[in-house]
Structure 1
Amino acid sequence: MTMAARIGRPLITLLGLVCVWWGIARWGHVPPYLLPAPDAVGRALWRQRALLGDSALTTLTETLCGLALGVCGGAVLALLMALSPGVRRWTMPLILLSQAIPVFALAPLLVLWFGFGMASKIVMAVLVIFFPVTSAFSDGLRQTPPDWVDLARTMGASRWRLLFLVRLPAALPAMASGIRVAAAIAPIGAVVGEWVGAASGLGFLMQTANTRFETDLMFAALLVLAVMTILLWWVVDLCLTRALYWVPVQHAQ
């Protein structure tokens, strides 16, 4: 599929959704404070561009910090679980428990423990992405082709060499999949933390606009968040694709 087709299809879909949105807002008899028209959201986006830019920068900083810490922590824990089955038996239930508790229930505690600054939002983002990275990388380490492992052992590879020279390279594509998922959901943790308690950020701005019935500003902040998330995923995917150049990439037809 050509580059024009890969770009054109999402744009056509987006244009269709905007047309449906505009039609509902124009002829659906929906009050503007419930569903503002796209042109009203565009005016709010331009009028409050400075505020939206500052808020987006705050949320992006929290997201990137949480993404970096979550990926590093998840990778280290996956390596420890690969080295020691005991570590896996003790830590995996705790990881599953952290995912069983809704993030909305944890957010007030994190704000109480880490304050209203960035720290609580970064921790929230780490909790959201920690499981996908750890699980994907751990599965990749455990699914190394047996022939590779047998060949390395036949050649006298030690446990550490087997891990870092055979199992780790074989698990990198699985880890990349986990990082892609993490990049897509990392902003959720930051925004949820901002909803509970913050003084800036897109989540805080959306909550404030909602309480003031400034629905056009809330939609504008939501649009900025969506664009930011898509761009973040695209950059991460591009970097991973170039870093793992030997992994074949299949595009949808």
Structure 2
Amino acid sequence: MTGALGRLRRLTPALVLVLVGLAVWQWYVTASAVRPQVLPSPLRVLTEGWAFRAQIWANALPTLQVTAVGFAVSLAVGWAIAVAVDFSPWLRRALTPLLVASQTLPIIAIAPLLIIWFGFGLAPKVVVIALVTFFPIAVGLIEGFGRTDRQATNLLRSMGASRWAQFRYVRLPGAMPSFFTALRIGITYAVTGAIFAEYVGASAGLGIFMNLQKNSFRTDLVLAAVLVTALISVSLYGLTFLVQRLVAPWSRRG
């Protein structure tokens, strides 16, 4: 109970700032009589979003599916790269520049090519999400493995422990704080990546819904979909703390 109250107190400044921003937004729209096609009021966004909740939810489900699959692939690739790099100094020197270079790729230019190569199915969207999110996962794990307590590693080595045993009992647990930090960064990128991937090739999803409503000058519904996207991102971000509590409670900081 005390912990919950403490977290609520930490969130209070952010909530107050959001409420103030919404109040100013509502006041400006009302006072200036700006057209809703240009800038709808927060109240209109909520009202219209609720009226079209069935359509928004129907499009949110494909986005969640793509996000889950793409991020699962990203986790698998990130873990595989990080573990391989940790076991092989040669791979560290070979792969680290490539990891950095992968983040310089213009996704907006590559995405249409992915449609040509993989078609309009799930594959190109999964690749986009993986390209956007695997870097923080891999780098977070690599840095976490590198911060392992040297004294503990030396102790296991002096006791004749194998490289795998040192990794399992020292390096892997020690990397968990860095991993979950990277996980929180990656999961928010995953939702954004899914929305972008839908723009370049999908039949349903929040990205498609936003694009259709934009073309119909329904700015209120575009913002309602943006709100749902933000809620999904925040929910997934919060879910990582629960996963951390269940999987690696010793790694929680503060």
TM-score range relative to shorter protein = over 0.9
Hey, what does 2:132 align to over in structure 1? 128
Paired-residue identity, %: 36
Residue from 82, 85, 95 that aligns with 1:91? 95
**C-alpha deviations, 1:143-169, integer Å up to 9, x for none?**
212111111111111122112222111
1:247 CA displacement? 2.7
1:111 CA displacement? 2.0
Q: Could you state the TM-score of these two structures normalised by the residue count of structure 1?
A: 0.92
**C-alpha deviations, 1:55-91, integer Å up to 9, x for none?**
1111111111111111121011100001112222222
Task: Name which of structure 1's ranges 26-35 and 13-22 shifts more when overlaid on structure 2.
Answer: 26-35
Does 1:180 find its partner at 2:184?
yes
RMSD (Å) for aligned C-alpha atoms: 1.6
Does 1:16 find its partner at 2:12?
no
Counterparts of 2:231 and 2:193, CA distance in 1? 17
| Aligned 8 A contact 2:176 2:251 in 1 | no
Point out where structure 1 has 5 or more consecutive residues left out of the alignment: none
Does 1:26 find its partner at 2:30?
yes
One-letter code of the match for 2:116? L
In the superposition, relative to structure 1, how do residues 2 and 166 fare at CA in structure 2: closer, same or farther (>3 Å)? closer
SS at match of 1:178: helix
1:29 CA displacement? 4.6
Counterparts of 2:125 and 2:149, CA distance in 1? 39
Q: Could you state the TM-score of these two structures normalised by the residue count of structure 2?
A: 0.92
Hey, what does 1:202 align to over in structure 2? 206
One-letter code of the match for 1:76? A
Residue from 57, 62, 81 that aligns with 1:77? 81
Map 1:36-55 → 2, pairs under 5 A: 36-55=40-59
Counterparts of 2:12 and 2:150, CA distance in 1? 43
SS at match of 2:250: coil
Map 1:238-253 → 2, pairs under 5 A: 238-250=242-254
Counterparts of 1:86 and 1:37, CA distance in 2? 57
Counterparts of 2:215 and 2:170, CA distance in 1? 55
Map 1:154-193 → 2, pairs under 5 A: 154-193=158-197
Aligned length: 250
Counterparts of 1:51 and 1:72, CA distance in 2? 33
1:136 CA displacement? 0.5
Counterparts of 1:14 and 1:236, CA distance in 2? 23
